[in-house]
Amino acid sequence: MRINKYLAESGVASRRSSEQFVLAGRVKLNGKTVTALSTEVNVENDTVLLDGKKVKPMTKHIYLMLNKPKGYITTTSDEKGRKTVMDLVTEYQRERLFPVGRLDYETEGLLLLTTDGELANRIAHPRHEIPKTYVARVEGELTRQEVETLSRGVTLDDGTVTKRCKVCLLGVENKLSRIEVVITEGKNRQVRRMFAALNRHVVFLKRMAIGELKVGGLTRGTHRPLKAFEIEYLKKL
Protein backbone atom coordinates (compact mmCIF):
# COMPACT_ATOMS: atom_id res chain seq x y z
CA MET A 1 0.00 0.00 0.00
CA ARG A 2 1.36 3.44 -0.91
CA ILE A 3 2.37 5.66 1.98
CA ASN A 4 -0.24 8.38 1.40
CA LYS A 5 -3.04 5.81 1.16
CA TYR A 6 -1.80 4.17 4.36
CA LEU A 7 -1.95 7.50 6.18
CA ALA A 8 -5.41 8.27 4.82
CA GLU A 9 -6.83 4.88 5.73
CA SER A 10 -5.35 5.26 9.21
CA GLY A 11 -7.52 8.33 9.69
CA VAL A 12 -4.66 10.84 9.75
CA ALA A 13 -6.16 13.06 7.05
CA SER A 14 -7.44 12.92 3.49
CA ARG A 15 -5.13 11.37 0.92
CA ARG A 16 -4.32 14.79 -0.52
CA SER A 17 -3.32 16.17 2.89
CA SER A 18 -1.37 12.98 3.60
CA GLU A 19 0.61 13.58 0.41
CA GLN A 20 1.64 16.98 1.77
CA PHE A 21 2.79 15.40 5.03
CA VAL A 22 5.06 13.04 3.06
CA LEU A 23 6.44 15.76 0.77
CA ALA A 24 7.16 17.96 3.82
CA GLY A 25 9.36 15.25 5.33
CA ARG A 26 7.08 14.66 8.33
CA VAL A 27 6.74 10.90 7.77
CA LYS A 28 9.17 8.14 8.71
CA LEU A 29 9.08 4.52 7.59
CA ASN A 30 11.00 2.12 9.81
CA GLY A 31 13.02 5.00 11.23
CA LYS A 32 13.88 6.68 7.92
CA THR A 33 12.28 9.85 6.57
CA VAL A 34 10.44 9.27 3.30
CA THR A 35 9.42 11.95 0.82
CA ALA A 36 8.51 9.82 -2.21
CA LEU A 37 4.77 9.29 -2.70
CA SER A 38 5.54 5.97 -4.40
CA THR A 39 6.88 4.53 -1.12
CA GLU A 40 5.18 1.23 -0.31
CA VAL A 41 4.17 0.20 3.20
CA ASN A 42 3.87 -3.37 4.43
CA VAL A 43 0.84 -3.10 6.67
CA GLU A 44 1.81 -6.17 8.71
CA ASN A 45 5.48 -5.44 9.42
CA ASP A 46 6.39 -1.77 8.77
CA THR A 47 6.33 1.05 11.34
CA VAL A 48 5.10 4.46 10.19
CA LEU A 49 5.58 7.66 12.19
CA LEU A 50 4.02 11.07 11.56
CA ASP A 51 5.73 13.88 13.46
CA GLY A 52 7.27 11.20 15.70
CA LYS A 53 3.94 9.53 16.57
CA LYS A 54 3.14 6.01 15.46
CA VAL A 55 0.36 5.69 12.88
CA LYS A 56 -1.74 2.55 13.09
CA PRO A 57 -4.40 1.43 10.62
CA MET A 58 -7.92 1.85 11.97
CA THR A 59 -10.09 -1.23 12.28
CA LYS A 60 -13.38 0.67 12.36
CA HIS A 61 -14.01 4.18 11.00
CA ILE A 62 -16.37 6.86 12.30
CA TYR A 63 -18.80 8.64 9.98
CA LEU A 64 -20.83 11.61 11.24
CA MET A 65 -23.35 14.06 9.80
CA LEU A 66 -23.30 17.53 11.42
CA ASN A 67 -25.72 20.43 10.96
CA LYS A 68 -23.13 23.18 11.21
CA PRO A 69 -24.28 26.54 12.59
CA LYS A 70 -22.65 29.77 11.47
CA GLY A 71 -19.84 31.07 13.64
CA TYR A 72 -17.68 27.94 13.45
CA ILE A 73 -14.51 27.33 11.45
CA THR A 74 -14.44 24.12 9.40
CA THR A 75 -11.09 22.84 10.59
CA THR A 76 -9.70 20.68 13.38
CA SER A 77 -7.96 23.60 15.13
CA ASP A 78 -7.57 27.36 14.81
CA GLU A 79 -4.49 29.39 15.72
CA LYS A 80 -6.68 32.40 16.48
CA GLY A 81 -8.66 30.54 19.10
CA ARG A 82 -11.95 30.67 17.21
CA LYS A 83 -14.58 27.97 17.63
CA THR A 84 -14.22 25.04 15.23
CA VAL A 85 -16.64 22.31 14.20
CA MET A 86 -14.68 19.96 16.48
CA ASP A 87 -16.17 21.86 19.44
CA LEU A 88 -19.52 20.40 18.38
CA VAL A 89 -18.34 16.77 18.51
CA THR A 90 -16.37 16.79 21.78
CA GLU A 91 -17.24 13.17 22.62
CA TYR A 92 -15.00 12.18 19.70
CA GLN A 93 -12.02 14.32 20.76
CA ARG A 94 -9.81 11.24 21.21
CA GLU A 95 -10.52 10.09 17.65
CA ARG A 96 -8.67 11.20 14.52
CA LEU A 97 -11.80 12.84 13.17
CA PHE A 98 -11.73 15.58 10.52
CA PRO A 99 -14.25 17.41 8.31
CA VAL A 100 -14.83 16.43 4.68
CA GLY A 101 -14.48 19.59 2.62
CA ARG A 102 -15.41 22.99 4.05
CA LEU A 103 -18.25 25.32 4.87
CA ASP A 104 -17.21 28.92 5.50
CA TYR A 105 -17.63 30.70 8.84
CA GLU A 106 -21.04 32.20 8.00
CA THR A 107 -22.49 29.20 6.15
CA GLU A 108 -24.70 26.63 7.85
CA GLY A 109 -25.78 23.13 7.01
CA LEU A 110 -24.64 19.64 6.17
CA LEU A 111 -21.04 18.78 6.95
CA LEU A 112 -19.59 15.27 7.04
CA LEU A 113 -16.86 14.30 9.49
CA THR A 114 -14.97 11.02 9.42
CA THR A 115 -11.81 9.16 10.32
CA ASP A 116 -11.81 7.57 6.84
CA GLY A 117 -9.34 9.62 4.82
CA GLU A 118 -9.77 7.50 1.70
CA LEU A 119 -13.52 8.10 1.57
CA ALA A 120 -13.07 11.78 2.40
CA ASN A 121 -10.73 12.16 -0.56
CA ARG A 122 -13.21 10.57 -2.95
CA ILE A 123 -16.09 12.77 -1.77
CA ALA A 124 -14.06 15.99 -1.90
CA HIS A 125 -12.27 15.36 -5.21
CA PRO A 126 -13.79 17.53 -7.98
CA ARG A 127 -13.55 14.83 -10.66
CA HIS A 128 -16.38 12.90 -9.03
CA GLU A 129 -18.75 15.87 -9.46
CA ILE A 130 -20.92 14.97 -6.46
CA PRO A 131 -23.89 17.39 -6.39
CA LYS A 132 -24.19 19.66 -3.36
CA THR A 133 -27.48 21.44 -2.74
CA TYR A 134 -27.66 24.88 -1.11
CA VAL A 135 -30.46 27.24 -0.22
CA ALA A 136 -29.56 30.94 -0.22
CA ARG A 137 -31.36 34.14 0.66
CA VAL A 138 -30.14 36.99 -1.48
CA GLU A 139 -30.87 40.71 -1.31
CA GLY A 140 -33.30 41.94 -3.95
CA GLU A 141 -35.50 40.09 -6.42
CA LEU A 142 -33.51 37.93 -8.82
CA THR A 143 -34.63 38.17 -12.43
CA ARG A 144 -35.18 35.21 -14.73
CA GLN A 145 -32.16 36.35 -16.73
CA GLU A 146 -29.94 36.31 -13.63
CA VAL A 147 -31.11 32.79 -12.78
CA GLU A 148 -30.26 31.63 -16.30
CA THR A 149 -26.86 33.36 -16.14
CA LEU A 150 -26.00 31.57 -12.90
CA SER A 151 -27.07 28.21 -14.30
CA ARG A 152 -24.92 28.63 -17.42
CA GLY A 153 -21.83 29.61 -15.41
CA VAL A 154 -20.36 32.92 -14.26
CA THR A 155 -16.87 34.38 -14.08
CA LEU A 156 -15.63 34.57 -10.50
CA ASP A 157 -13.38 37.23 -9.00
CA ASP A 158 -10.24 35.22 -9.82
CA GLY A 159 -11.18 34.83 -13.49
CA THR A 160 -12.34 31.20 -13.30
CA VAL A 161 -15.67 30.27 -14.85
CA THR A 162 -18.08 28.03 -12.97
CA LYS A 163 -19.60 24.93 -14.55
CA ARG A 164 -23.26 24.68 -15.47
CA CYS A 165 -25.43 24.12 -12.43
CA LYS A 166 -29.08 24.01 -11.35
CA VAL A 167 -30.60 27.24 -10.05
CA CYS A 168 -34.22 27.59 -8.97
CA LEU A 169 -35.95 30.69 -7.60
CA LEU A 170 -38.09 29.40 -4.72
CA GLY A 171 -39.76 32.69 -3.88
CA VAL A 172 -39.38 36.32 -2.85
CA GLU A 173 -40.28 37.71 0.57
CA ASN A 174 -39.33 40.93 2.39
CA LYS A 175 -37.15 41.96 -0.56
CA LEU A 176 -35.12 38.76 -0.28
CA SER A 177 -34.95 36.07 -2.97
CA ARG A 178 -34.86 32.46 -1.78
CA ILE A 179 -32.88 30.36 -4.22
CA GLU A 180 -31.85 26.72 -4.48
CA VAL A 181 -28.47 26.10 -6.08
CA VAL A 182 -27.03 22.67 -6.94
CA ILE A 183 -23.34 22.66 -7.86
CA THR A 184 -20.89 19.85 -8.64
CA GLU A 185 -17.75 21.85 -7.91
CA GLY A 186 -16.11 22.82 -4.64
CA LYS A 187 -14.39 26.14 -5.16
CA ASN A 188 -13.76 28.21 -2.04
CA ARG A 189 -16.93 30.12 -1.04
CA GLN A 190 -18.25 29.31 -4.51
CA VAL A 191 -21.97 30.00 -4.07
CA ARG A 192 -21.36 33.37 -2.41
CA ARG A 193 -18.89 34.32 -5.15
CA MET A 194 -21.33 33.27 -7.87
CA PHE A 195 -23.91 35.73 -6.57
CA ALA A 196 -21.22 38.38 -6.07
CA ALA A 197 -20.49 38.08 -9.80
CA LEU A 198 -24.03 39.43 -10.30
CA ASN A 199 -23.52 42.10 -7.63
CA ARG A 200 -25.93 40.25 -5.37
CA HIS A 201 -25.26 39.89 -1.64
CA VAL A 202 -26.00 36.59 0.15
CA VAL A 203 -27.47 37.19 3.61
CA PHE A 204 -28.02 33.50 4.46
CA LEU A 205 -26.59 30.27 3.05
CA LYS A 206 -27.19 26.68 4.06
CA ARG A 207 -26.03 23.41 2.52
CA MET A 208 -29.03 21.10 2.47
CA ALA A 209 -27.60 17.97 0.86
CA ILE A 210 -24.52 16.16 -0.42
CA GLY A 211 -25.67 13.82 -3.13
CA GLU A 212 -28.72 12.10 -1.67
CA LEU A 213 -27.70 12.71 1.96
CA LYS A 214 -29.91 15.42 3.44
CA VAL A 215 -29.54 17.44 6.63
CA GLY A 216 -33.30 17.62 7.20
CA GLY A 217 -34.42 16.62 10.69
CA LEU A 218 -31.08 17.39 12.32
CA THR A 219 -31.21 20.37 14.68
CA ARG A 220 -28.69 23.18 14.13
CA GLY A 221 -25.45 22.39 15.97
CA THR A 222 -26.21 18.69 16.48
CA HIS A 223 -24.83 15.57 14.82
CA ARG A 224 -25.53 11.88 14.36
CA PRO A 225 -23.66 8.83 13.08
CA LEU A 226 -24.35 7.93 9.47
CA LYS A 227 -26.49 4.89 8.98
CA ALA A 228 -25.06 1.81 7.27
CA PHE A 229 -26.91 2.43 4.01
CA GLU A 230 -25.69 6.05 3.96
CA ILE A 231 -22.07 4.94 4.35
CA GLU A 232 -22.53 2.41 1.56
CA TYR A 233 -24.07 5.12 -0.63
CA LEU A 234 -21.02 7.37 -0.14
CA LYS A 235 -18.60 4.53 -0.86
CA LYS A 236 -20.33 3.84 -4.16
CA LEU A 237 -20.19 7.45 -5.37
Question: Which residue among the candidates 104, 116, 157, 158 is catalytic per the annotation?
Answer: 104
Q: What dihedral angle (degrees, nearest 10) is formed by the CA atoms of 206, 208, 210, 211?
A: -140
User: Annotated catalytic, 104?
Assistant: yes
Q: Centre a 10 Å sphere on the Cβ of residue 221 and count the other Cβ atoms it contains.
A: 15
Q: Which of 97, 104, 130, 95 is nearest to 209 (CA)?
A: 130
Q: What is the 3-state secondary structure (H, E, C) of the chain?
A: CEHHHHHHHCCCCCHHHHHHHHHCCCEEECCEECCCCCCECCCCCCCEEECCEECCCCCCCCEEEEEECCCCECCCCCCCCCCEHHHHCHHHCCCCCEEECCCCCCCEEEEEEECCHHHHHHHHCHHHCCCEEEEEEEEECCCHHHHHHHHHCCECCCCCECCCCEEEEEEEECCEEEEEEEECCCCCCHHHHHHHCCCCCEEEEEEEEECCEECCCCCCCCEEECCHHHHHHHHHC
Q: Which of 123, 203, 192 is nearest to 162 (CA)?
A: 192
Active site residues: 104
